[in-house]
């Protein structure tokens, strides 16, 4: 894990020193919040938000988006409050994290093409900031890259969501990873 963190720290050199400090602070906080959690692979859970944030650093998104990405699961998976996020990182980061949390449970299980299209439209309508969608797309991409550790039914459900909802959404935004 340390080599992944070192690589991430190296990659955020594209940001100014103030933004780097903010990202590093979020990195350390997210790491401590997720410290007792594991992924299905047995790896520390923190590897996931780090991997998702790395995808968006490669796209050179703004520092608040990277901070929110590092924290994107803390409201669901820890005792962290939106207020504590805002206290540490500001209202913009709080809104991004809350936006990602709000759309976390949207699934396409057994949906028709029209229903999947309606879900995509609903996602656009639900979010007030397109960066929420970008974080969610990177989240789904990272999850797809680590599917082999999930049971077959969860692999299939995740893949179906990506095929029916998130891949067309990315395509509509002109994103091809």
Point out the residues that are catalytic.
Answer: 76-77
Q: Distance from first CA to last CA of the chain, Å, rounded? A: 24
What gap in Å lies between CA 30 and CA 152, rounded to an integer?
A: 29
Report yes or no: 91 and 48 within 8 Å, Cβ to Cβ: no
Q: How far is CA 93 from CA 67, 79, 145, in A?
A: 7, 17, 26
43 φ/ψ sector (left φ>0, alpha ψ -120 to 50, else beta): beta
Query: Per the structure block, which two tokens stand in for 117?
Result: 């299209």
Compute CA 25 distance to the chain's CA centroid, rounded to the nearest angstrom. Answer: 17
């Amino acid at each position: 894990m340390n080599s992944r963190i070192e690589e991430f720290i190296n990659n955020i050199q594209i940001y100014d020193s103030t933004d780097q400090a903010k990202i590093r602070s979020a990195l350390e906080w997210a790491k401590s919040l997720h410290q007792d959690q594991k992924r299905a692979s047995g790896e520390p859970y923190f590897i996931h938000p780090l991997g998702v944030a790395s995808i968006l650093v490669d796209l050179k998104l703004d520092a608040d988006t990277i901070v929110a990405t590092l924290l994107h699961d803390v409201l669901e998976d820890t005792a962290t409050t939106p207020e504590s996020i805002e206290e540490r990182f500001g209202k913009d980061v709080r809104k991004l994290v809350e936006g990602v949390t709000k759309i976390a449970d949207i699934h396409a299980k057994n949906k028709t093409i029209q229903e999947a299209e309606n879900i995509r439209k609903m996602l656009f309508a639900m979010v007030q900031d397109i960066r929420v969608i970008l974080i969610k797309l990177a989240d789904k991409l990272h999850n797809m890259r680590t599917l082999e550790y999930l049971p077959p039914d969860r692999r299939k459900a995740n893949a179906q969501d990506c095929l029916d909802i998130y891949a067309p959404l990315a395509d509509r935004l002109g994103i091809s990873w």
